[in-house]
Amino acid sequence: MMRQYDLVERVKRYDPDADEDLLNRAYVYAMKAHGSQRRASGDPYFSHPLEVAAILTELRVDDQTIAAAMLHDTIEDTETTRGDIAKRFGENIASLVEGLTKIKKLDLVSKKAAQAENLRKLLLAVAADARVLLVKLADRLHNMRTLHYVPPDKRARIAEETLEIYAPLAGRIGMQEMRDELEDICFRTLMPDAYAMVMARLEAFRARSGKIIELIENDLREKLIANNITGEVKGREKKLYSIWRKMERKSVSFEQLSDILGFRVMVGNIPDCYRVLGIVHNAWPFVPGRFKDYISTPKQNDYRSIHTTVVGPKHQRVELQIRTRAMDEVAEYGIAAHALYKDKSVEERGDILGKEARAYQWLRRTIETLAEGDNPEEFLEHTKLELFLDQVFCFTPKGLLIALPRSATPIDFAYAVHTDVGNHAVGCRINGRNAPLTSELRNGDEVEILTSEAQVPPPAWEGLVVTGKARSSIRRATREAVRKQFAGLGKRIIERAFARMSKPFAEDKLTIAVPRLARPSIDDVYAAVGRGELHSADVIKAVFPDFKEDTAKAPASPQGQGWFGVQGAGEVKFKVPGQEGGSGALPIRGLSDDLPVRFAPGGGPVPGERIVGILTPGEGITIYPIQSPSLSAFDEEPWRWLDVRWDVEEGERRRFPARIIVSVINEPGSLAEVARMLAETDANIDNIEMRAKTKDFREMVLDIEVWNIKHLTTLLTDLNARPMIANVERVLG
């Protein structure tokens, strides 16, 4: 374990003005606070915060961050309080430590909501102080380095979380070296066979290539000297996980990869970067399509460098990165590098570190967007989307640069410009030509978005976009549109209920009763009734507390049949035609006579969703889901509407019919794959009809049986998530 004076010496080496007394006090306090606590490895617990502090000295962070690293587990794992930290070390360090305190005793990987809440808390703390993220990543890195001491059942879950969240987060703030190490440990833990295979291939490549790295390094140095350029050359092999990821993404073998070797040339200034590029391209042929200039157009995490691939000695393809030393600091240390250069001149720092880090600006903007998430699971999903992959750079007609992930569409572009632009987008022009909104954008595209105030984003857009902001905005707009639909439906239901009770409908009376219904506004009451969360009878009682329904005065239908209103106390079960025996009873309440009851044809309701009964004299009652388009045919016949509800006992195992349409890619095995997925979700198939939609797609109309609306919703969500399925929708009778 590192000694006290070793840690202080490390900090003083890069920061001679560091507060030595602060570091000593934090060391002693944390050691005493953790006392005899032990880690899974058997080491004293204090060894962990000390190693986290040591990792941060490699990033050369300030003394307060080092102190916070030593104290970061004291509030959570000892009797120490925030007040104790503030009293002894000041508010600044207390805030840092508090921001690092995790949600207590949660299994963050097995419980997605808990994982998302922990991540939300972390990112909101980061918005206040970026140093929180540096300590958190160092904390995760040391935990991963000692992962082999963790029980095997937890090891994979921790590695999965690290690979999905923390490694990409390190990359997005520019800390590539830390990302590489985290990914390497996760790769070795989660996919040991693949790890061993790539390692064996890499060793075979080394044996074949001999001293190729040394040869190319020397060749590059000689070319720099010959052209009077002072610079440093470093060669390296591509990381194992990067090799595996590229093999998987492009479906190629190890031997087909062209960038196993990479070289970095670091020079003193930007003009020399472009001189080196010219020298290299004159000496060796470059590979078309493999040139990127991140100096003129930096990435969002502040990364700046020139990338090119050339065919070097021995016909070996070589990936080359050319940058200044200041740019290399940012590439290695990310936002941590800004502290190193904050007091230097523009010439010394290469004019890239004078303002707030672009990576930190990205983090702030991302957090602002994600903070609007409606639930923890969406927050987690959107965060993962925001962390992903490389970027393309596009322009607005006025020249504004918009950075987007690869595979982004004009819809993503529109939402990146402004949420309102995305919500009202109806078309686009790419480089002056009309193009579909589903087009994949490329570097340098000029994109003009065409809008209409009448447009609202279709829900299907959610499956087309790749950015978290676009997906979040589309979901929010869809929810608002659905809410308005339900509110309109709920209002009609309430109006009919008032009419049936021979009471005049007036919104002012209903507004007064809103608090009794535990809803914030009258629109929320309408929406709740439309969704089936609130019964129309409850609304009547809230407006008229003393009102009692007189069913004897119920008006007759035009055909002379009895009118059936809401019977709150009645619990009568009716037979479904074609289902004999007691097990065929349809558990619905709200009716008072033994009338024949059937489901709406071509897509009836399932338990858990709001239902309506439609009376047909002489034939009986048809049960429809409340959102069924067929109900519009009865708008002018309110006497036929029956307010009914399910009376299914919890735990009762009975399947109900539903109809869905699945649009799949036209290829062998598609039907078998859909059937397998339905079986996995415990759905039963009654009937299948195949339709030829287009040459590339087939449409399947499936009559299935499900347990309830939750089961059906889960099934639809699962099908929609499969790559071979273009669209899934439910059919309502």
DSSP symbols for 190-222: H-HHHHHHHHHHHHHHHHHH-SHHHHHHHHHHH
Q: In the chain, which segments carry CATH 3.30.70.260?
A: 656-731
76 catalytic per annotation: yes
pLDDT at 377: 53
Average pLDDT score over residue span 644-668: 79
Asked if pLDDT for residue 372 goes beyond 70, the answer is: no
Q: In the chain, which segments carry CATH 3.30.460.10?
A: 194-349
Asked if pLDDT for residue 173 goes beyond 90, the answer is: no
pLDDT at 695: 65
CATH superfamily of domain region 4-187: Hypothetical protein af1432 (1.10.3210.10)
- Nearest C-alpha neighbor of 69 from the set 2, 165, 151: 2
Q: What is the pLDDT of residues 416-460, one digit of tens each?
A: 888 899 999 999 999 888 999 989 888 778 899 999 988 888 888
pLDDT at 125: 59
Between 344 and 596, where is the model more confident?
Answer: 596
Q: Mean pLDDT highest for which of 112-121, 503-512, 683-692?
A: 683-692
SS3 for 344-370 is CCHHHHCCCCCCCCHHHHHHHHHHHHH
- The answer to whether 592 touches 570, Cβ cutoff 8 Å, is yes
pLDDT at 407: 81
pLDDT at 266: 93
Cα-based distances in Å from 133 to 126, 139, 645, 720: 6, 10, 51, 35
DSSP assignments along 587-635, one per residue: -EES--S---EEEPTTS---TTS-EEEEEETTTEEEEEETT-GGGGGGT
CATH topology of domain 656-731: Alpha-Beta Plaits (3.30.70)
Q: What is the pLDDT of residues 55-85, one digit of tens each?
A: 988 888 889 989 999 998 888 888 888 899 9
Q: In the chain, which segments carry CATH 1.10.3210.10?
A: 4-187
Cα–Cα distance, 120 to 116 (Å, whole number): 6
Q: Mean pLDDT highest for which of 31-45, 87-101, 219-233, 392-406?
A: 219-233
pLDDT at 364: 57
Question: Bridge-partner residues for 644, per DSSP?
Answer: none
Between 578 and 367, where is the model more confident?
Answer: 367
Cα–Cα distance, 399 to 191 (Å, whole number): 45
- Nearest C-alpha neighbor of 28 from the set 83, 82, 81, 89: 89
Asked if pLDDT for residue 245 goes beyond 90, the answer is: no
Which entry of 76, 160, 259, 372 is annotated as an active-site residue? 76
- The answer to whether 278 touches 264, Cβ cutoff 8 Å, is no
Average pLDDT score over residue span 273-279: 93
Q: Considering the chain, what is the average pLDDT of its residues?
A: 78
Which amino acid, 377?
E
- Nearest C-alpha neighbor of 188 from the set 150, 151, 145, 153: 145
Cα–Cα distance, 198 to 194 (Å, whole number): 6
pLDDT at 390: 55
Which entry of 77, 217, 237, 446 is annotated as an active-site residue? 77
Q: What is the pLDDT of residues 679-707, one digit of tens each?
A: 888 888 888 988 876 667 788 999 998 88
705 catalytic per annotation: no
Six token digits for residue 53: 């502090």
pLDDT at 505: 81
CATH dotted code for 194-349: 3.30.460.10
Cα-based distances in Å from 338 to 23, 59, 62, 131, 166: 22, 11, 11, 11, 21
| Residue 537 binned pLDDT confidence (cut-offs 50, 70, 90) | confident
Average pLDDT score over residue span 658-687: 86
pLDDT at 252: 79
Between 122 and 21, where is the model more confident?
Answer: 21
Cα–Cα distance, 510 to 494 (Å, whole number): 10
Question: Bridge-partner residues for 430, per DSSP?
Answer: 433, 447
